[in-house]
Structure 1
Amino acid sequence: MNPEDLQKLVTMTMPYGKHQGRLLADLPGNYLNWFAREGFPNGELGKLLALMHEIDHNGLSDLLKPLRGRGR
């Protein structure tokens, strides 16, 4: 993981599906858990969703608060 990945979680939106347009950092835990069970997509999106799943699963979502609003 690198700092740029954390910034992407608070600026990049989900490109498709039920939560299309929602920030990756704001995706619900059950949606991230579904990806963890079924498989994350390939590429950067999958890597970021897996990272967000780990952050959410371990109760660390508050670590992203200082990054919100930066880099826009």
Structure 2
Amino acid sequence: MQLQPDRDFLVQLAHTKMPYGKYKDRFLIDLPEYYVVWYHNKGFPKGKLGDMLETVYTLKVNGLEELIRTIKKQYPK
């Protein structure tokens, strides 16, 4: 179990957009909370996108979205 978040993962998360669906091209951190909760209940997709959506869920539930927005500003693409 990893206790510290992987910096590269968080930087990539800050710059990743939803690749499909109703919210295509919206940054993952900017997805509506109800949509991320829906994924949580339905099951996150397999792979890196699922890991990122699960992280977004955890951040949103705990009110920590601003961390990713700050990372996005500090590490522009």
The TM-score with structure 2 as length reference comes to 0.85
Give 1 or 2 for the bigger CA radius of gyration: 2
**SS of the residue 1:10 aligns to:** helix
Q: Which runs of 5+ in 2 are unaligned?
A: none
User: Would you say 1:20 and 2:24 are equivalent positions?
Assistant: yes
From 57, 71, 75, the counterpart of 1:53: 57
Deviating above 6 A after TM superposition, structure 1's stretches of 4 or more consecutive aligned residues are none
Q: Percentage identity across aligned positions? A: 35
User: Shift of residue 7 of structure 1?
Assistant: 1.0
Determine whether 1:68 maps to 2:45.
no
The CA deviation at 1:10 is 1.5
Structure 1: unaligned runs, 5 residues or longer: none
TM-score, length-scaled by structure 1: 0.90
**Aligned pair 1:6/2:15, yes or no?**
no
Offset, 1:17: 0.6
The RMSD of aligned alpha carbons is 1.1
Find the aligned partners of 1:67 and 1:12 in 2 and give their Cα distance: 12
How far is 1:43 from its partner?
A: 0.3
